[in-house]
Structure 1
């Protein structure tokens, strides 16, 4: 028994020693100061999943704030702040119009991770879950837009991500923001659904989607197999079903020749999150594309909505500006913050999240994408 306890103690000591060594190796890397304005209005949980993986990357790359400290995903952002989920207490951190120029001058970069917001059925858990419940907070507003505009004028880095354009963002702000990023939103969004019959269990559609579909199409929701759910900002809904409409329901994310190259990464990655269906403006660079593997019937269904089975995923709006739009919820990935401050933390994080379907996307696409953008931008600044 004593021998077992001794061996166990030695093993634990070795593990602790390895972790300390990996942390020291990470810490000894040169830190890079970069003041980043992170906006996340869709925070219904204390874990801040919508921007947590972005902060993981900043920490892992040794990017620090102006105070020299690592970024904290629970405090170093703007938007919605849950205080007490049980008491339903929250705070909101936002800028005023007269502060836009000052903040645009102070911040080096802006990353809008999610602007959709929080609705009453998500925050006030006792309420009935309905798609038309009242907004607690959310939507891209004029001050958010003006900050991006001013930072772009100052040649700062700006990155926008999925859900900047849909309701509750109003039409005028949406149009101006589309012009800012040099993209046009079709009004449609979509997501892969692994089990169309698993209603309201997290792996399938929400109940309101089923009801809306059956009301519009006057037929039962397709309750078998997998597919891609399509929803328009005007309230239309449809489903691309595996077999009849899709050869495979998995959304492919394909890098284009214009994408700055990184080594040892696949050209094609599977994407499981929500995506916007957008068009790139004249003069923009499409760095990556979403592709839906449609059958002729599926292609015709898309065509009836004015859509195609391939559309931009990453757009650099202007060749002379550090201005990017990601047409997917790229920053929503499963990560363990503790691994971000370890040399080799990418590997350990992958092991801890082997069951996450977005693991490959995070490692093979999002991580090198953000690394490449930040390296190009900071080297330009230096």
Structure 2
């Protein structure tokens, strides 16, 4: 009886002490200064959902904006800044002079364009239907953004961008400049998996998507389960239903050997959120991973008729040493995770407790198994490179 009581005391003591110990290890972990200019034009409140995965990594890994200050998720970014009582401030690079853009490119070690989709009246005003399209308040990549990116590239700084940075509402002129600068191309298509396409049950399906599909397909909506919706920039809609068009309803990401070895990524993982269909110049870039859409013959025919590939890049990486560039072909940084968990060292080891991989719609596993190891490795390697470069400069100056 005494041994049983002792066991439970030790067991419950460990449960209580483990989080405290994990927090103390995080607290006393060394800080690493890495100045990252984060661009987020789709911030509706102060929780930073559109860039939460990046903020999580910066906090967990103790990357700092100065020698002592950690990044503040609510303030340390450029873009749309929501205030109380329906007020907001526009603090994007659009307000920068050429000299200020030059200065920013000089002091920044890296930049991450996490989201430029922007903010619209239907999102900012709760009285307007959220799933209807409306007038833009702010958003899209700007000429000032491009000037900054050009200077960052010239300085060989790390540049990361992702889904929708060059999609709507970015102008075709700015998009073309970005594509030429980095050797990537948006096909005009975006896509997303929906667990339930029954319009009477799933109210998260955008009304504009339903309306356009009905208008373009004889006023018929033959979907009752899950599937993948494809949206073109000209408002063309195509849908592959899981019942007749897909052998696997959820897009899969296949990581090639380089990505598995370099970034410790899984060979396959599902991805159930927004993505853009991109191509790239393979003489200067290569794909770390690629999406795979598993179709039936009927589904393959629909894709072929609309020039939509069933395999296309998921992560594009510049493969030469003249500059550093990654493009994530999906809304990778927006994941349903909690920022507070980033204060506990070792938490990735128990991350499988936080999600159910059997659920096709869950997205937490993508963060823990794919996004976190990849972005952490990118930032770790870049920090070490900068630190080594600065150390060599210091040695030369002291000689």
Q: Which residue of 1 aligns with 2:396?
A: none
Alignment partner of 2:344 out of 342, 345, 349:
342
Gapped runs of 5+ residues in structure 2? 1-8, 389-399
Distance in 2 (alpha carbons) for counterparts of 1:329 and 1:165: 13
Give the CA deviation at 1:107.
0.6
Distance in 2 (alpha carbons) for counterparts of 1:193 and 1:31: 41
Q: Which residue of 2 aligns with 1:310?
A: 311
The answer to whether structure 1 residue 362 and structure 2 residue 367 are counterparts is yes
Q: Which residue of 1 aligns with 2:41?
A: 41
Give the CA deviation at 1:322.
1.2
Q: Is the 8 A contact 1:245 1:294 kept in 2?
A: yes
Distance in 1 (alpha carbons) for counterparts of 2:264 and 2:147: 39
Q: Which residue of 2 aligns with 1:323?
A: 325
Distance in 1 (alpha carbons) for counterparts of 2:190 and 2:256: 22
Distance in 2 (alpha carbons) for counterparts of 1:159 and 1:200: 37
1:237-289 deviation digits (Å, cap 9, x = unpaired): 11011132111111101111232625865210110110000112132111110
Q: TM-score, normalised by structure 1?
A: 0.91
Q: Which residue of 1 aligns with 2:394?
A: none
The 5-angstrom pairing of residues 1-382 of structure 1 reads 17-84=17-84, 87-95=85-93, 96-98=96-98, 99-129=100-130, 131-198=132-199, 201=202, 204-259=204-259, 261=261, 265-283=265-283, 284-320=285-321, 321-347=323-349, 351-352=353-354, 357-381=362-386, 382=388
Q: Is the 8 A contact 2:286 2:319 kept in 1?
A: yes
1:312-338 deviation digits (Å, cap 9, x = unpaired): 010013422210100001101122222
1:289-323 deviation digits (Å, cap 9, x = unpaired): 01100112212211112121000010013422210
Q: Is the 8 A contact 2:133 2:208 kept in 1?
A: no
Question: Stretches of 4+ moved more than 6 A in 1?
Answer: 9-14
Stretch moving more, 261-270 or 52-61: 261-270
Distance in 2 (alpha carbons) for counterparts of 1:57 and 1:132: 33
Q: Is the 8 A contact 1:57 1:340 kept in 2?
A: yes
Distance in 2 (alpha carbons) for counterparts of 1:263 and 1:166: 27
CA gap 1:35/1:199 in 2 versus in 1, 3 angstroms: farther
Q: TM-score, normalised by structure 2?
A: 0.87
Partner-residue secondary structure (3-state), 1:330: coil
Distance in 2 (alpha carbons) for counterparts of 1:376 and 1:200: 46
CA gap 1:11/1:79 in 2 versus in 1, 3 angstroms: farther
Number of residues paired by the alignment? 372
Distance in 1 (alpha carbons) for counterparts of 2:89 and 2:200: 32
Give the CA deviation at 1:201.
4.6
Partner-residue secondary structure (3-state), 1:290: strand
Stretch moving more, 237-246 or 270-279: 237-246
CA gap 1:97/1:304 in 2 versus in 1, 3 angstroms: farther
Distance in 2 (alpha carbons) for counterparts of 1:319 and 1:289: 20
Distance in 2 (alpha carbons) for counterparts of 1:20 and 1:116: 39
CA gap 1:272/1:130 in 2 versus in 1, 3 angstroms: closer
Give the CA deviation at 1:229.
0.3
Give the CA deviation at 1:46.
3.2
CA gap 1:349/1:259 in 2 versus in 1, 3 angstroms: closer
Q: Which residue of 1 aligns with 2:6?
A: none
Q: Which residue of 2 aligns with 1:6?
A: none
Distance in 1 (alpha carbons) for counterparts of 2:347 and 2:54: 14
Instruction: Report which of the two has the higher share of strand.
Output: 1
Partner-residue secondary structure (3-state), 1:319: coil
CA gap 1:241/1:322 in 2 versus in 1, 3 angstroms: same
- Over the aligned positions, Cα root-mean-square deviation in angstroms equals 2.3
Partner-residue secondary structure (3-state), 1:364: helix
Distance in 1 (alpha carbons) for counterparts of 2:110 and 2:263: 26
Q: Is the 8 A contact 2:195 2:225 kept in 1?
A: yes
